[in-house]
């Protein structure tokens, strides 16, 4: 009997200690002190249980140390479904769907435990927007076979999956199968209807749903904006009795998207005056974009001051928005100073400053920044090269532009897109090398669009070249048979060349093109 008592006592102590050990490990992890947690873990192997292992692994994932997490996981004497789910969500958060997939296969083959609802929710959400999404219906089948009921988590994730696959029947089916729906699946249903363009279905869902939250409102607002129904979005926004920062940002962004920068800025002012909602990073970036679009440097200055006053830490996105705003509003030097203050400059930040110099016609400085960017180890993308070729075109650096354009393909393995060709045509055109521009268009791997033809036509206008101008006009005609700019450029060329007497010929051409004299398109400078 005493022996049994001793055993029970020991057992109690050891259980207690294990609980305490795990608590301490978690406290260390919570304070970001993984080393101490690990030390404690290694010092007391007799006290550790599966929970200690799981805590430590999850701690490594939280601190972005996936390698250690995987290493510990491999060493585990025994794993439960929680261990697997920690691995899956760790890799999902690390944006590594490949590993999620392999981990899932592994679990299926060797796991001691079966997957549960959480397993599927995590896996499905990490398969969204990528090729793995095609596995989602199979996962759906698998979880039904395993008898896992569709709770709001798995169900909502699955609904997202079917939206991603444009399978709206699947979406509705899952929605009806979810037991004990809370507001989330309703929100996802609205999202799905909006994504497929069924705005009235979305509205009907909104009207009949039992409860709504901020997500509901902003999903509806964004849906209307995506479907080009800004007025409806505004109507819904105005109906909100209590507006949160997300819906404010969304509606401001809506106006920005439609080019109504003035209204966007007015709304921002209204937001500040409302006193109830404070702007955040997202709002500021959006508003700065509006300032840039409207060349409203004074408002931009005020927003800048507002950001500084608000005490938000200036992250790279916000700083890039500032760089872009100042560059577009004409103050490239301030833009550069702010750019220099960015500690870790990413590709977008570099593109902004290079684009800024390009627009200011400072081709050498654009190239200089490009070289600095390369030295800092950032790889250029297609946008970098659009900016660079544009810069060379506006700075008269024809050969440099050619070299850069070619290096994009040969050195950086990027594919030249329509925009690059348009910039190159513009570059040759400005320099008066119209034959080269024509040759380039002929050799393009795809049919030129209206921007390419427009650049060419503009150049022909600039250099008063009738024959090539007519080729350009014809090119545009095949795409848009009554572009107004064609008329104004051609009549300029004919005028320059003194072929005014041929005005009846032009009239014929005009009839043929059914062009009307309207405001000239802005792509012809």
Binding to DNA by residue 296, rule CB under 7 A?
Answer: no
Q: Interface residues for DNA in 441-480 (CB under 7 A)? A: 451
Residue selected from 22, 54, 70, 283 as contacting DNA according to rule CB under 7 A: 283
Could you tell me the smallest distance in angstroms from the CB atom of residue 395 to DNA? 15
Burial of 58 (0-12, 13-18, 19+ CB in 10 A): buried
Q: Binding string to DNA for residues 157 to 176, with x set by CB under 7 A, is what?
A: x--x----------------
Q: Which is nearer to DNA, 172 or 466 (CB)?
A: 172
Q: Which is nearer to DNA, 61 or 494 (CB)?
A: 61
> Which region, judged by CB under 7 A, interacts with DNA, from 5-13, 102-110, 267-275, 320-328?
320-328
Q: Tell me, by CB under 7 A, how many residues bind DNA.
A: 64
Binding DNA by CB under 7 A: which of 42, 112, 180, 315?
Answer: 315
Q: Does 285 bind DNA (CB under 7 A)?
A: yes
Which single residue is written with the structure tokens 């930040």?
A: 349
Give the separation between CA 128 and CA 258, rounded to whole angstroms: 28
- CA distances in angstroms from 366 to 88, 169, 295, 371, listed in the order given: 44, 51, 21, 9
3-state secondary structure of 445: coil
Residues 339-358 that bind DNA (CB under 7 A): 346-349, 351-352, 355
The Cα–Cα gap between 362 and 391 comes to 7
**Residue nearer to DNA on the CB measure, 48 or 249:** 249
**Closer CB to DNA, residue 47 or residue 292?**
292
The secondary structure of the chain in percent helix, strand, coil, rounded to multiples of 5, reads: 75, 0, 25
Q: How far is the CB of 523 from DNA (least distance, A)?
A: 8
Per CB under 7 A, 430 contacts DNA: no
Site for DNA in 115-154 (CB under 7 A): 117-118, 121-122, 125, 152-154
Scanning 238-246, 333-341, 393-401, 405-413 for contacts with DNA by CB under 7 A, the matching segment is 238-246
* Smallest separation (angstroms) from DNA to the CB of 76: 19
The tokens 């791997």 sit on which residue? 445
Please state, in angstroms and rounded to a whole number, the distance separating the CA atoms of residues 428 and 398. Answer: 7
Tell the residue number behind the tokens 């016609």, with chain if given.
Answer: 361
Q: What count of other Cβ atoms lies within 10 Å of the Cβ of residue 241? A: 4
Nearer to DNA, 50 or 317 (CB): 317
Q: Which stretch binds DNA (CB under 7 A): 28-36, 197-205, 217-225, 479-487?
A: 217-225
d(CA 293, CA 301): 14
Q: Which of 69, 386, 452, 510 binds DNA (CB under 7 A)?
A: 386
Residues of span 177-216 touching DNA by CB under 7 A: 182-185, 187-188, 191, 213-215
Let me know: does 81 contact 116? Beta carbons within 8 Å.
yes
Distance between CA 109 and CA 281 in Å, rounded? 45
Q: Scan for tokens 């991603």, then name that residue.
A: 164
> What would the x/- binding string for DNA be over residues 68 to 107, using CB under 7 A?
---------------------x------------------
DSSP 372-415: HHHHTTPPP-HHHHHHHHHHHHHHT-HHHHHHHHHHHHHTT-PP
Confirm or reject binding of residue 382 to DNA (CB under 7 A).
yes
Q: In whole angstroms, how large is the CA radius of gyration of the chain?
A: 31
Least gap, CB of 151 to DNA (angstroms): 7
390 binds DNA (CB under 7 A): yes
Alpha-carbon distance values, 133 to 100, 127, 138, 151, 486 (Å): 13, 5, 10, 20, 46
The size of the chain, in residues, is 525
What is the number of alpha carbons within 13 Å of residue 522 lying toward its C-beta?
A: 0
Q: How far is the CB of 509 from DNA (least distance, A)?
A: 27
Q: Sign of torsion, CA 392 398 399 405?
A: positive
Between 157 and 296, whose beta carbon lies closer to DNA?
A: 157
By the criterion CB under 7 A, which residues form the site for DNA?
89, 117-118, 121-122, 125, 152-154, 156-157, 160, 182-185, 187-188, 191, 213-215, 217-219, 222, 244-247, 249-250, 253, 280-286, 289, 292, 315-318, 320-321, 324, 346-349, 351-352, 355, 381-383, 386-387, 390, 419, 451
């Amino acid at each position: 009997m005493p022996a049994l008592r001793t055993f029970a006592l020991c057992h109690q102590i050891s259980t207690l200690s294990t609980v305490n050990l795990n608590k301490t490990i978690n406290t260390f992890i919570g304070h970001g002190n993984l080393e101490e947690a690990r030390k404690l873990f290694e010092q007391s192997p007799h006290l550790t249980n599966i929970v200690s292992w799981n805590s430590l692994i999850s701690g490594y994932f939280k601190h972005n140390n996936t390698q250690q997490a995987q290493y510990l996981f491999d060493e585990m004497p025994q794993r439960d479904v929680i261990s697997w789910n920690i691995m899956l969500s760790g890799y999902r958060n690390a944006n590594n769907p490949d590993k999620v997939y392999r981990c899932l296969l592994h679990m299926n083959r060797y796991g001691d435990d079966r997957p549960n609802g959480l397993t599927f929710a995590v896996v499905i959400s990490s398969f969204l927007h990528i090729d793995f999404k095609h596995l989602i219906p199979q996962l759906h089948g698998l979880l039904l076979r395993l008898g896992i009921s569709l709770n709001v988590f798995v169900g909502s994730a699955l609904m997202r999956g079917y939206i991603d696959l444009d399978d709206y029947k699947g979406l509705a089916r899952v929605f009806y199968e979810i037991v004990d729906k809370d507001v989330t699946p309703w929100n996802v249903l609205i999202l799905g209807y909006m994504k497929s363009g069924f705005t009235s279905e979305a509205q009907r869902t909104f009207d009949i749903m039992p409860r709504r939250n901020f997500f509901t409102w902003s999903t509806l607002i964004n849906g209307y904006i995506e479907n080009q129904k800004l007025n409806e979005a505004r109507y819904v926004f105005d109906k909100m009795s209590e507006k949160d920062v997300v819906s404010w940002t969304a509606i401001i962004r809506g106006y920005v998207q439609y080019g109504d920068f003035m209204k966007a800025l007015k709304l921002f002012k209204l937001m500040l005056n409302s006193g109830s909602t404070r702007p955040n990073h997202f709002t500021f970036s959006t508003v700065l974009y509006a300032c840039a679009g409207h060349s409203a440097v004074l408002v931009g200055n005020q927003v800048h001051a507002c950001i500084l006053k608000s005490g938000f830490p200036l992250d790279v996105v916000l700083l890039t928005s500032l760089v872009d705003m100042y560059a577009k509003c004409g103050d490239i030097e301030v833009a550069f100073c702010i750019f220099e203050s960015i500690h870790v400059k990413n590709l977008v930040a570099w593109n902004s400053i290079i684009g800024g110099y390009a627009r200011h016609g400072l081709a050498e400085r654009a190239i200089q920044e490009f070289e600095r960017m390369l030295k800092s180890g950032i790889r250029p993308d297609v946008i970098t090269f659009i900016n660079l070729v544009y810069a060379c075109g506006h700075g008269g650096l024809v050969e440099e532009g050619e070299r850069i354009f070619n290096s994009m393909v040969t050195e950086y393995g990027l594919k030249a897109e329509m925009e690059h060709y348009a910039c190159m045509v513009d570059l040759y055109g400005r320099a008066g090398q119209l034959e080269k521009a024509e040759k380039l268009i002929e050799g393009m791997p795809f049919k030129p669009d209206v921007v390419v033809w427009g650049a060419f036509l503009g150049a022909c206008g600039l250099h008063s070249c009738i024959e090539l101008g007519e080729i350009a006009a014809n090119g545009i005609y095949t795409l848009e048979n009554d572009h107004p700019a064609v008329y104004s450029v051609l009549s300029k060329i004919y005028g320059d060349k003194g072929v005014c007497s041929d005005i009846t010929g032009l009239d014929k051409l005009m009839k043929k093109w059914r062009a009307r004299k309207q405001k000239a398109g802005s792509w012809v400078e």
